[in-house]
């Protein structure tokens, strides 16, 4: 039973986008590992920006300053 965990910051990911992530991850596991899609579990964990850090700073503070992780 494969379990896939996707962690992302809580920044307005829509229900449809989450469905696409779940479907895509399930298909990937099925195609690459030949696992039964009915036994594949996908967990999406949305993390508050205050609880996510990059380069020693909270993402919430970086966003307030208009900085994204790739520009740090």
Q: Is beta strand 41-47 parallel, antiparallel or unpaired with respect to 3-9?
A: parallel
User: Which residue out of 2, 13, 60, 69 is catalytically annotated?
Assistant: 2
Q: Is 37 a catalytic residue?
A: no
Beta bridge partners of 8: 46
DSSP state of 11: S
What amino acid positions are annotated as catalytic residues? 2
């Amino acid at each position: 039973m494969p379990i896939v965990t996707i962690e992302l910051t809580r920044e307005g990911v829509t229900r449809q986008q989450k469905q696409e992530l779940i479907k895509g991850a399930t298909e990937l596991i099925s195609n690459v590992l030949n696992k039964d899609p009915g036994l594949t579990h996908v967990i999406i964990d949305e993390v508050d920006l205050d609880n996510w850090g990059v380069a020693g700073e909270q993402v919430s503070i970086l966003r307030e300053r208009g900085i994204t992780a790739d520009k740090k």
